[in-house]
Chain A
Amino acid sequence: MTSAVERLMGMVGTKDCYDVAPEELLPLQIDAANERLQGQIDKVGLLRNRADSSGVSDIKEPADLVPLLFAHTAYKSYSESWLTEGQWDRMGRWLNAVATRPVDGVDLDGVETLDGWIKQMESVGHYLSCSSGTTGKPAIMSGTEIDIEFSAKANAAGIAWGLGLQPDSDRKFFGLGPQFAAPRENAIKDAMIDNLAPDVEPFLFGAGEPITVGAMVEMIVLRRKIADGTARPSEIAEFETLAAKRGGGMEDAARAAVEALTEARSRPIMISGMYGQLFPLAEGVRAKGFSGNDFHAENAMFVAGGLKGAALPEDYREYILETFNLPEQRLYQTYSMREINATFPVCSASRYHISPWVIILPLDVTGEQWLDAGDGEIEARAAFMDLSIEGHWGGIISGDKVSVGFGKCGCGHQGPTVGRDILRFADLPDGDKISCAGSIDAYVGGVS
């Protein structure tokens, strides 16, 4: 018999997967949540801890999931010095408390860098996904082969749904964002190419080596060391040299990208990138005398993330869209987070649609109470139970303040949706007052 989890995951890519009434889907989702709970409770230490302390061993309704959710900080609850000082055995013991697969049999001999540790972890079936952690330490989540495959598939299917795109043998894919050397990111990129532009050689923005998680984390750590005054001069000098080298390579890569974009102007293109990088490329294209009228009418674009600190003119968005002949409805946007496999595509009514393999749980500010929205709209802290996740527990309380609706969306589709305006509690005057974070830190922090 097919399990509830399998039935939900089987909906990915189907035509009506974003058009199911919540009450119709819920019984299957509750079954799947129980399957995940039973399958992971004896494997994920923190889940056992949450279940024991709350007395929840069986899920009957969405509210039962609340005490079992992990705070988004749970995946950052390791001690930063373990990471910076390369105490991989301790990192392993920490990860063991938040991963489904046991962390054992890892050969740490000769492992010196974070990249080295990540590689060793892959050899024992832990595919680590790390948040970029632009301001703090990165969240680290363990995923399995199935998680990677499913993330990629769900993302590609989301784009196809959101933009109404079919594979086109003439379409060329432009990966214009930073290229990361991580299995999940690679799979997501490959799936986009396979599903949308399978026949034309893709263009991937590249200035030499793709960025590794280790290199990114080293940069974050050094920035903080500079800020708190503990960075040694040689560390700064080394970083400056590397940054200058990368900067030089970036210019060449940008020239190549502008060249390739203008060359492909007569065919449909699919651009994937971030605003900060896309803007100078659009400027480059305009400087060569090309703009909207020269580009194909069926272009599409996928923009991930916000501005990430890039200082751009106010009309940067319009400028980019106009340059590549992109009407608003061909711009794909999505709401997601590293902690989950799912991405939620935006619809023509500007709302994010929650995938059927995810239960969205509107919570109060502290993240303790489930809020019953009925079939209406409610302001809440967003929490999710992503039933597709195998490598770690899928229940997560985010740091996002959202407006969740359970009624039929303006675009005509059923299913829960989230409004376009998403705020981060951390950016609000009161800060992020998530209440279970402390107890989770205490539990996971005790692994040393």
Chain B
Amino acid sequence: MSSAESQVLSASHFVQGALVEGNAVSHRSRDLGADFTTPALDLDAIVMPRSQLPPLLDVKLTEIIDFLVEVGERLHLDRNPYLQECLEYIAATNPLPRRVVENLYREAPLYLGRQILESMVESNFANREALDGWAESVDAYGSKLAVRAFPPRIVHMLAGNAPAGCIASIAQGALVKAVNLFKMPSSDPFTTVAVLRTMADVDASHPVVRSMTAVYWQGGDESIERTLYRPQYFDKIVAWGGGPAINNVIKYLGPGIQLVSFDPKSSISMIGRVWSSR
């Protein structure tokens, strides 16, 4: 990343444990129209072929949680040079006020606290044993069943409106032992790489780190998405975003590739008497 304001911002990529720098491609951020550059996208490098087993396949959940907790401890803004650097750059691309981004960054370690990670597992999986091996059960008819979760290959389309949200996605991807490709938003092409660099500083060869890739391309770029969004490469697209972004992904869905959508929802807020009387 470059710091001089006169220079064009440079966003790096992170590919399975390795930082990839470069400014081969120029982009303009969607919200604030800021110019930034990224390295050229090497499609072969960012897709782990199915002939290669997911690095986390045989890593125990407790070991993954231990590792994430250790990373979380290094995500304190005051001590983390990568996040500090990000905070400077993100002002150019993200509509959120710097103060808000800073507050969000200060919460970064909380996403990887042991308690929150454990509760994430408990609240999502009826039997956590299935994440580590064959979990046996007997159904209502007396048939014996054994279930084991197999690591999925996931594209995470990250949202730009919550710069620290990527940490939750990283945690979720690691807990299900997925092979992860994070597609960063134009309003924040920095934070995910900063978090993953912090992770690589703990142990660059750790299976969690080798399961993580974060890159930027302009959302909707058919030449890239038509190539990547195929069942031979990915099982799921986890999409955070507005209507147009979700609609754009839907056209690539089919047998073998599904959408996990965190899309706009209809919601209401109830304001109680206590607040209205203030």
Contacts and interface: CB of A to CB of B under 8 A. Distances in A.
Interface of A: 226, 229-234, 236-237, 240-241
A113 B50 CA distance: 27
A398 to B, nearest CB: 35
A438 B223 CA distance: 44
Given A229-B50, A230-B49, A237-B43, 10 more contacts: A226-B230, A231-B232, A232-B44, A232-B47, A233-B227, A234-B43, A234-B44, A236-B230, A237-B223, A237-B224
A75 to B, nearest CB: 31
Contacts of A232: 43-44, 47, 49
A250 B74 CA distance: 57
Interface of B: 42-44, 46-47, 49-51, 223-224, 226-228, 230, 232-233
Nearest to A226: B232
A181 to B, nearest CB: 27
Contacts of A240: 223, 226-227
Nearest to A231: B232
A233 B44 contact: yes
Among A226, A230, A233, A241: residue with most chain B CB under 10 A = A233
A237 B227 contact: yes
Contacts of A231: 232
Contacts, number: 31
Contacts of A236: 227, 230
B53 to A, nearest CB: 15
B229 to A, nearest CB: 10
A232 B51 CA distance: 11
A43 B47 CA distance: 50
Contacts of B230: 226, 236
B233 to A, nearest CB: 7
The list of the 9 closest CB pairs from A to B, nearest first, reads A233-B43, A229-B232, A237-B227, A236-B227, A234-B44, A233-B47, A232-B44, A234-B43, A233-B227
A233 B227 CA distance: 6
7 contacts: A226-B232, A231-B232, A232-B44, A232-B47, A233-B44, A233-B46, A234-B44
A234 B47 CA distance: 10
A161 B11 CA distance: 70
A110 B49 CA distance: 30
A4 B51 CA distance: 59
A240 B227 CA distance: 8
Contacts of B226: 240
A143 to B, nearest CB: 38
A8 B175 CA distance: 77
A65 to B, nearest CB: 47
Nearest to A225: B232
Among A226, A237, A240: residue with most chain B CB under 10 A = A237
Nearest to A227: B232
A175 to B, nearest CB: 32
Contacts of B46: 233
Contacts of A226: 230, 232
B228 A233 contact: yes
B183 to A, nearest CB: 14
Nearest to A239: B227
A236 B47 CA distance: 13
